[in-house]
A = this chain, B = another copy of it.
């Protein structure tokens, strides 16, 4: 299935891209310059997923390429092919990790609250704190939203994420309030990420108080 129709190549023949014949003679493939040794790297796949998240945050899904991730992780291009079935597999793995990690923080912070007041404080802390707002997390989340809205196969990630958020809020608030709080968190976080002069902490606190008051 690969390279069967070589005669079809309409490309200009002269001047091949690679002027100096790379290696002295015809052994085109096996070269292996002994300079860079092979590295034993257990857990490379896990590391690649983290690096991919950073690349997504910096360049967007549009600018995330196997080559860029490989370069950022300092692994050869072929390693991407080995560890991931394709671009979608890489994106899926990266966004799954992002959602899981963020939801973990959400759970942890909320589970420490014992009263409704403490839960409200926890929500304010989540919005104004550094975890949800870490720019890498925020940028990658926006990319995930855009992707999930357009492609159903990524919706499972956002669905699970939202379900976990709601469940964590349900421990302290009635279902309707939990829904409204969830939306408020989404909106304020997004707003604070995009706005030049972001909403003050006291305004966030007021908003949360107004939503949770009976």
Which residue of B12, B176, B185 is within 8 Å of A206 (Cβ)? B176
Q: Is the interface of A mostly helix, strand, loop or mixed?
A: helix
A201 within 8 A of B: no
Taking a contact as CB atoms under 8 Å apart, the answer to whether B194 and A148 are in contact is yes
| Chain A 57-77 interface mask (CB, 8 Å, partner B; 1/0) | 111111000000000000000
Which of A104-112, A117-125, A136-144 lies at the interface? Answer: A136-144
Taking a contact as CB atoms under 8 Å apart, the answer to whether B149 and A194 are in contact is yes
Q: How far is the CA of A85 from the CA of B109 in the complex (A)?
A: 49
Which residues of B sit under 8 angstroms from A83, Cβ to Cβ? Answer: none
Taking a contact as CB atoms under 8 Å apart, the answer to whether B162 and A179 are in contact is no
Q: How far is the CA of A134 from the CA of B10 in the complex (A)?
A: 45
Taking a contact as CB atoms under 8 Å apart, the answer to whether A199 and B179 are in contact is yes
Contacts A60-B61, A142-B146, A206-B176: A191 and B195 contacting too (C-beta < 8 A)? Answer: no
The residue in chain B whose Cβ has the minimal distance to the Cβ of A208 is B180
Taking a contact as CB atoms under 8 Å apart, the answer to whether A190 and B191 are in contact is no
Top 4 nearest A-B pairs (CB, nearest first) are A187-B187, A62-B62, A183-B187, A186-B187
